[in-house]
A and B are shown apart, each in its own frame.
Chain A
Amino acid sequence: EVQLLESGGGLVQPGGSLRLSCAASGFTFSSYAMTWVRQAPGKGLEWVSTITDSGGSTYYADSVKGRFTISRDNSKNTLYLQMNSLRAEDTALYYCAKLWGQLLTPIDYWGQGTLVTVSS
């Protein structure tokens, strides 16, 4: 059974940093692209970032480019999202998700999410 367990969310002041983690199990982690999608309270889904299976290529939404960094450790089956210079508009539930294959495939599994709140 595929499981994705996010952690690292919390309350942070504007301008602060957080590092999200996602522990994956139940599939061959190193064979799939992984992604982060966020959902602001009461709002829709917004793609944040994607990383290829090897970690060799990364992609970011314009809204987070230059502030967020996605990475993965295939030896630990873990996905990360380093979030710097956080803004109020980054407040959201952050989902770790597995792509069906490589880039340009649908998301077939989602974690439960970790809540990030940016507020003074």
Chain B
Amino acid sequence: DIVMTQSPDSLAVSLGERATINCKSSQSVLYSSNNKNYLAWYQQKPGQPPKLLISWASTRESGVPDRFSGSGSGTDFTLTISSLQAEDVAVYYCQQYYSTPPTFGQGTNLEIK
């Protein structure tokens, strides 16, 4: 199974500042045949189901604010929130769907400083 490891586990950022969450996979999730990274980012607010923010490592879903961006390739990925808003307080998960079983990172709890 591919192990996904996020860092940090928890993060406190001031409003308007940049938040960066890292995700590392135990093996590459880049498919050479189509040059796509099989990596997604989800946001889970308290009492709600997760919401897909970014797929294929860097494709923002429709309706997701452009302050959210994803980057990286192979085994190392980053979710960046360029200017933190109060409504961004949540737990963020990365997930690989390169192989079965699909696996999630342990989550990063993002708070306001």
Interface residues of A (CB under 8 A from B): 44-47, 50, 59, 61-62, 95, 100, 103-113
Asked if residues B98 and A104 are in contact (CB atoms below 8 Å), the reply is: yes
Interchain residue pairs with CB less than 8 A apart (24): A44-B105, A44-B106, A45-B107, A46-B104, A47-B103, A59-B101, A61-B101, A100-B55, A104-B38, A104-B97, A104-B98, A106-B40, A106-B52, A106-B55, A106-B56, A106-B95, A106-B97, A107-B52, A108-B55, A108-B61, A109-B52, A110-B49, A111-B49, A113-B49
Choose among A47, A59, A61, A107 the residue that contacts B40 (Cβ–Cβ < 8 A).
A107
Q: Does B67 contact A (CB under 8 A)?
A: no
Choose among B38, B93, B98, B100 the residue that contacts A45 (Cβ–Cβ < 8 A).
B93
Q: Which residue of B lies closest to A35 (CB)?
A: B102
Which residues on the A side are within 8 Å of B50 (C-beta)? 45, 95, 107, 110
Q: Which residue of A lies closest to B59 (CB)?
A: A106
Most B CB within 10 A of own CB, among A46, A59, A100, A111: A100
CB distance from B5 to the nearest CB of A (A): 12
Q: Which residue of A lies closest to B56 (CB)?
A: A106
Interface residues of B (CB under 8 A from A): 38, 40, 42, 44, 49-52, 55-56, 61, 93, 95, 97-107
Which residues on the A side are within 8 Å of B40 (C-beta)? 106-107
| A47 touching B102 in the complex, CB below 8 Å, given contacts A108-B52, A110-B51 | yes
Main secondary structure of the interface of B (DSSP, over half): loop
- Distance of A61 Cα from B56 Cα, bound (Å): 23
Asked if residues A45 and B104 are in contact (CB atoms below 8 Å), the reply is: yes
- Distance of A54 Cα from B95 Cα, bound (Å): 25
Q: Which residue of A lies closest to B48 (CB)?
A: A112
| A103 touching B100 in the complex, CB below 8 Å, given contacts A44-B106, A44-B107, A45-B93 | yes
